[in-house]
Chain A
Amino acid sequence: MTDLILFGVFPYIAVTLAGFGGIYRYASDRYSLSSQSSQFLESRMLFWGTVPWHFTIILILLAHLLALLFPTAWGTLLGRPLRLYLLEISGVSLGLVAVVSMLVLIVRRAINQRITTVTTVIDWVLLAALLLQVATGVYIAVTLRWGSLWYLHTATPWLWSLVKLDPQVSYMAVMPAVVKVHAVNAFFLLALLPFSRLIHMISVPLAYMGRSPQVVVWYRR
């Protein structure tokens, strides 16, 4: 029953919250669709937190996403033991860097007086959830090898079953507790997206690459 709630019901709640919350925030408060940068208040320590964090977490998220969207190709890629091993080692390294950089970000927020004043409760919830997520991720990668391969046959079918509105809870029900925590926390983070600074994920300014360097706006044209 718990498993059904955690892996069959909660994901839908999280997606609904993320979707409707996101739309509401976009429509009603576009002013706040960003992460409130604190680099102006403290820049040096931030570099050692934010830069490794973002680059590693983007690569790790990308791997999760590719294994979800293109399971066959992913399986072929990992079909050679050497490639599998290289990917796993890279993944663990990236994950460890992500954990350390998240710790840097948390410590920075806790000890710098200027930054504590611009930190809200939801920021702490988010940081804690992110730390839990990367820490469990690294723990899984290290102790339950090789996650990149079994993910394809457990998490991928489970997530697709959610997409097809026919949740197959059994895939996750048999998993060790740490994997369950990782999965549930992932959806918790998704639910948090519109209610925290995580919303800045949707403001990636890719359009910048294509726009004209000067922008002139007319009101009579």
Chain B
Amino acid sequence: MKNGWLRQVSLLLICYLWFCFPPSACAADLVDGDPQRGKALFAGTTSFAQGGAPCLACHGIAGRGMGMAGGASFGPDLTSIFDDYGAEGIVGTLDDLTFPSMEPIYATRPLTAEEQADVGAFLAKTAEEAQLPTVSRMTGHVAIGLAVISALLVVFGRGRLQGVRRPLVLGVRTGKGGRR
């Protein structure tokens, strides 16, 4: 009981401090951000402190070690977002992420200032990168998966009982099977 009470007060205190000194990143921080860590955050290798979804869940991104996984397609591709938005735009966006489909996810779990800086720095670098991985290669990989499953099925299906009476009777009548 005592502990619960303490925890509530400290939570309130943290919230209060949060509102008093809201963390924010300015353009200068972008330069300071660690693009390597930004990449880890983007892909989800490192989780966001508040538990927000990694960007790669929905957003495509070219190269930068993402490989074929860069072909996410739920949201728009972010490879060259930095060129469109600029440093200012990125900062503002990463701070609140008020897009309709993102709001429920990030409203209560925003990115910390440091994370915003890191992701921003990462996006600043990807803007220089080449194209997205193509969907046609993904089709090829799915085809390989289908081939593997089909092969397993064929192996599993071998030697099953395929009917006894009909083959026997028809076989004898057509002279192909059975014995006289």
Q: Which residues of the other chain, A, contact B66 by a CB distance below 8 angstroms?
A: 81
Give the nearest-CB partner of A85 in chain B: B69
A214 smallest CB distance to B (angstroms)? 26
Contact A97 B103 (CB under 8 A): no
Interface window among B14-22, B83-91, B117-125, B137-145:
B137-145
Does B43 touch A at the CB level, under 8 Å? yes
| Residue in A47, A52, A152 whose CB lies within 8 Å of B160 | A47
CB neighbours of A106 from chain B (8 A): none
- Tell me whether B141 and A145 are in contact (CB under 8 A): no
Contact of B44 among A96, A149, A174 (CB under 8 A): A149
B53 → chain A, closest Cβ, in Å?
Answer: 3
Chain A, interface residues (CB within 8 Å), range: 35 or more
Known A146-B69, A175-B101; judge A81-B145 contact (CB<8 A).
no
**Within 8 Å of chain B (Cβ to Cβ): is A78?**
yes
Closest to B149 in A: A97
Q: Is the CB of A144 within 8 A of B146?
A: no
B71: Cβ under 8 A from any A Cβ: yes
SS class, residues of chain A in contact with chain B = helix
Closest Cβ of chain A to B129, distance in Å, is 14
A198 to chain B, nearest CB (A): 23
Partner of A92, one of B44, B142, B156: B142
Contact with B along A170-190 (1 / 0, CB 8 A): 110111000000000000000
Tell me the complex Cα distance, A43–B73, Å. 41
Please give the residue numbers on chain B whose beta carbons come within 8 Å of chain A beta carbons, in ascending order: 43-47, 52-54, 56-58, 60, 65-74, 100-101, 103-105, 138, 141-142, 145-146, 148-150, 153, 156-157, 160-163
Question: Across chains A and B, which 4 residue pairs bring their CB atoms closest together, nearest first?
Answer: A93-B145, A153-B53, A81-B69, A149-B57
- A sample of 12 inter-chain contacts (CB < 8 A) reads A43-B162, A47-B160, A51-B157, A52-B149, A56-B149, A79-B43, A90-B145, A92-B142, A143-B73, A146-B74, A149-B58, A175-B101
